[in-house]
Structure 1
Amino acid sequence: MNRRNQHWTLRAFIALAVSFIASGTQSAIAQDFDLIEQRLGGIVADGELSLEQAHVMLHALRQHAEQHHEQAEMQELFERAGIAESSVVRLHRALEERGIHGQQRDLSMRLLLRALQTKNSSADEFEFPTKLRQYLQTEGKLAEEQVQFITNIAARLAREVNTNREQKQQRSEQTQTRQKQVEERIVQWIESLETELREAVESERLTEDEAWEKWDWIKENQIEPKLDAAMEERSLTEEQSEHIWVEIKEREAELREQHE
């Protein structure tokens, strides 16, 4: 194989390997590495790489995989703390711009996250823990101005957490209000159907048996689809739907008992 094709093959292999690692879970990555090792073995056998070069490449890929996994875990922890992914990306960039790289950056992000987790409620005034500040200086080897920069970022992120929490609470309350209104409208609609059937029986347009037969048809072809559609649109919860069906069954039992 000529050198040009050799370089293309290696670039394609590296791109494929990195894409496997970036898109996989921890267990999937382990399986991907089995495949990667097999492919590398083939490339070595074809004389495109030496065994030593293959070991170096595999080691680099493993380091990349570990770093990717750690970053993904860190991202998930920040999201659980109420920090948006875009804010984490900006944080990462800001630390780099301040000369906080590699292990210092990772340590700073972990301690910053821990500081945010010490804030118990939105009513608390955020204060970066003194012990964590000292740890950044002694173990992280950060300058005072870098530590202060991280402290300032933590305060800003704490405000973001408060805002996000309050907005989430507001959205939740608004959603619950809308869902309650939808439930009330559906219940009223069901009651109107019941009233129509009762009036039809009273006016002798339907017999009692015919009314019950029509009611069964209405439940299957009107009520059930309407409830399913409302849940699909998330304008009604599954719990609310189940509650409506319970009320329907209780009302049916009550009516049957009255006519026995």
Structure 2
Amino acid sequence: MDGWVSEEGLSWRALAPFGVEIDCDLSAPHTPARSKRLAGLIARGGYVLARGQALSMEQQIALMAPIGPIIRRPQENGYISTDAEAASSRSELSFHADAAYTDAPFAALSLHAMDVVDDASGTRFVNAERGYATLPAELRDRLDRASAEMISPTLSGVGVRACDVREPEATQRATFPAVRLNPRTGRRCIGVSEMHTARLLDMDWEASRDLLGAVYDHLYAPGNSTEHLWRRGDIVIWDNLTLQHARGSLNGVGRRVLQRVVAGA
């Protein structure tokens, strides 16, 4: 297979613009060496894709456990399904990193397509580390000095840019640096996002909105983003600070059931 590398029971190839695809039966027993190599691939590129998998919940938990302690709260691990009656099960989600409005954002997330209409729906990703490293110097300097009000929005705010609303409704609020250090990579990443950043502190609302808009124009540019179109059996694992993720509306995409396992910091 051209472009593929094999080591420690894993075969992988680089994806553009970031991440890797692996060719391996992830339901097979994991050796410490293979688990370490998988964690290293996630740390290096932030994103790992494998196709044609058939993992039980417990097998997916075992796959994620070497990355960090598994979050076993029902609202975190479980199934993201269009079968759910709540409007949030089909709503658009703007770019975000999970729990970025807390002092303990999740370490990594995994989604496994159990039942989907092939290629009918996707999840979009952008690389917040690459975004920070390639920011124009003037923008990077301003962001380095900024602190952000981070929110957990109500349902009406999950699909929009929070900074475009003067007083966005929220269930939680906290203040964090606009640039965060990823403890798993030692690299800095853009810590603001469309869904969770209400404003930058110590500036008026218009100035905050304009600065965040300039950062987002860079972060969410096509050259720094990718979309995974789901097929049954796919699993995607990503570092929650290295990457931000989003999805479009799920109305009209057919049944979509994704098995979700989250590793904590």
For the superposition of Structure 1 and Structure 2, which TM-score range results when normalised by the shorter chain? Answer: under 0.3
Question: Which structure's residues are more often helix, by fraction?
Answer: 1
Question: Which structure's residues are more often strand, by fraction?
Answer: 2
TM-score, length basis structure 2: 0.23
TM-score, length basis structure 1: 0.23
* Relative contact order higher in (CA < 8 Å, ≥ 6 apart): 2
